[in-house]
Structure 1
Amino acid sequence: MAFRYQGVTVFPSDRLYSSVGACGTNDPSDVAKVQQLIAAVQYGFLTGRHLNVTGQCDFATIEAIRWYQSLLNMSPSGIISPVDVAFIEALHRMGPYWRPANTQGTLRVEQGQFTFDNEGCDYLPAVPPFRQHKYPYFSRILHWPQTPYSGVTIGRGFDMGNRSRGEIYSTLKYAGSEDYKAELCSRAANLKGRSCVSFIETYGPMVGEITHQQQVNLFNISFKTYVSSAERIYSRVSPRGLPWAFVEQKVKDVFYDTLYQGNTAAGKMAEIISQGKKAELVKWLNSVRPNKDARRDVARIAWLQ
């Protein structure tokens, strides 16, 4: 049975009883535990280095410890002690055979349910090699929407292509993500296009799934920005049109949704909405425009009618 130590889950089979690494006690049984954990989390694949499980703390073992400490944004001291349980838990949860299966949880959000429902699905298995089926994507793992202007994404549309490392890390942590997942995801800052594919192949299995609640929290945090932007854009573009307070909620939902997907013609759309004629909005959604998502526009029109 696992137990908690300073807020971290520790699995007895992985518990260290002495320090391992540079200038450590290096009891063979503890060294072997660390070597087994490291070998199980793609160290050879990620670095091209081979680590034998010998129970002997050699240079290769110390370098492997340093490599994962750096990866997890820890001081690369090359030594871990029995109190460094966060390091052990991170390795444990990165392992391909131990990752928890989040099979149920909430799929309801505070605002933007239409956008949330259309930004992904929750019924495809998150298993290696993390190759996604066609749209919509299983959203609780790293994925890439396969457009040149999209970045590595997790959850229902949390695109990291235009975000800094600090923003990614802090937002994921606020949503309830584990430290190591937030740190690994932050490395996707500003990545776009095909470079996202190699990132996901490398880090996808290590990040694994986020929970349903983390996904909801992440969406709620992000979506508030688009709600504020929508009202600001509308008020600036349409001061004499239909007041924002009287715009139908479903029309607002569609406007939010287009902004969430990077609407570059938001001003024009706001002008059409201000006329109060839903038929004109449907006509605009059916028109050809930059970065048009035809599949999504069909869903938007159905939502309006």
Structure 2
Amino acid sequence: MAITQGLLTYEAEGMEGGPYHSRKLHVPGESSGLTIGRGYDMKEKSEDKIRADLLAAGVAPEQAGILGQAAGLSGTEAKAFIDKQGLSDFEITMEAQEVLFKQTYDELSRDVQRICDKADCVAAYGEVDWEGLDDKIKDVLIDLRYRGDYTPASRKLIQALVAANDLDGYKQVLTTRENWPNVPQDRFNRRMAFLES
């Protein structure tokens, strides 16, 4: 299986090998939950959903059941869970990582579509033709949602441009650093390079 959609996000959400090897359990920050793969964060998921997702990705039932118990944990609690459960060496396969990413990416893509279709959003910014939307706009829009940057405040900057399918205007807003003070420099640079490629 190869990643065909969301490559910008996939590459930004982790790495293979090194101290930040994404196929191992990690907690990216104090507000993050227990995370595995390229951004599969368990904080906002139910125990049943975690277990089902991990089983679908090929994780053994016993391990999926244990990891389901991390539902709702974040920060130091999530880090302590890794130690308490003896999971510091736990690692998923590359295929499992890709399955989890695709599932999460598809869920967030549908969520972005839902937000774009909300009556208040359409009334304020215009209707979005999701199927006809420029792929670069779409990919970065989903990446914004993936990282938590697609908010009511950011929609004030970009949503009318999304509705107009205006890649040049969208690119200008996304590549202006002052518009994105809370976005890590690496993620900002990746988005800029993607839009300018």
Q: Report the TM-score when normalising by structure 1.
A: 0.55
Deviation, 1:277, is 4.3
Distance 1:203 1:114 in 2: 33
Aligned to 1:119: 13
SS of equivalent to 1:200: helix
SS at match of 1:229: helix
Does structure 1 conserve the Cα–Cα contact (< 8 Å) formed by 2:8 and 2:190?
A: no
Cα 1:242–1:154 change in 2 (3 A) is: closer
Do the aligned partners of residues 287 and 271 (structure 1) sit closer, same or farther apart at CA in structure 2, a change above 3 Å counting?
Answer: farther
Q: Deviations over 1:142-200 (max 9, x none)?
A: 00112x32111001100001111111111111111101211121121101122222222
Determine whether 1:144 maps to 2:9: no
Q: Count residues in correspondence.
A: 187
Give 3-state SS (helix, strand or coil) of 1:145's partner.
coil
5+ long unaligned stretches in structure 1: 1-105, 125-132
User: Does the 8 A contact of 1:168 with 1:182 survive in 2?
Assistant: yes
- Structure 2 residue aligned with 1:71: none
Compared CA separation, residues 188 and 299, structure 1 to 2 (3 A): same
Please say if residues 160 and 191 of structure 1, whose CA atoms lie closer than 8 Å, have aligned partners that are also in contact.
Answer: yes
1:128-277 pair list within 5 angstroms:
133=19, 137-146=20-29, 148-203=30-85, 205=87, 208-236=90-118, 237-238=121-122, 240=126, 243-263=129-149, 264-265=151-152, 267-268=155-156, 269-275=158-164, 276-277=166-167
Which residue does the alignment assign to 1:292? Answer: 183
- Indicate the larger mover: 189-198 or 171-180: 189-198
Pick the structure with more helix per residue: 2
Contact map agreement 2:32 2:41 (CA 8 A) in 1: yes
Q: CA deviation at 1:290?
A: 7.4
Q: Distance in 2 between matches of 1:216 and 1:229?
A: 20
Structure number with greater CO (CA < 8 Å, separation at least 6) is 2
Residues in 2 aligned to 1:235 and 1:294: alpha-carbon distance in whole angstroms = 30
> What RMSD over aligned residues (CA atoms) do the two structures have, in Å?
2.3
Provide the C-alpha distance between the structure 1 equivalents of 2:31 and 2:182, rounded to a whole number of angstroms: 9
- Structure 1 Cα separation of the partners of residues 60 and 36 of structure 2: 14
The structure number with the bigger radius of gyration is 1
Please state if 1:278 is matched with 2:172. Answer: no
Q: In 2, Cα distance between the equivalents of 1:168 and 1:291?
A: 29
| Deviation per residue, 1:234-282 (Å, 9 max, x gap) | 2332474563333210111111111111233363332332241434444
In structure 1, the residue corresponding to 2:131 is in which secondary structure?
A: helix
Residue identity opposite 1:295 in structure 2:
D
How many Å separate the matches in 2 of 1:207 and 1:186? Answer: 17
In the aligned structure 2, how far is the partner of 1:277 from the partner of 1:122? Answer: 32
TM-score (norm 2): 0.82
Distance in 2 separating the partners of 1:242 and 1:174: 32
Q: Match of 1:267, as an amino acid? A: R
Alignment match, 1:9: none
Identity over aligned pairs, percent: 30
Residue identity opposite 2:155 in structure 1: G
**Cα distance change of structure 1 residues 277 and 233 upon mapping to structure 2, 3 Å threshold:** same
Please give the alpha-carbon distance, in whole angstroms, between the structure 1 residues aligned to 2:12 and 2:84. 27
- Cα distance in 2 for partners of 1:249, 1:280 equals 12
Residue identity matched to 1:159? D
Shift of 1:231: 2.0
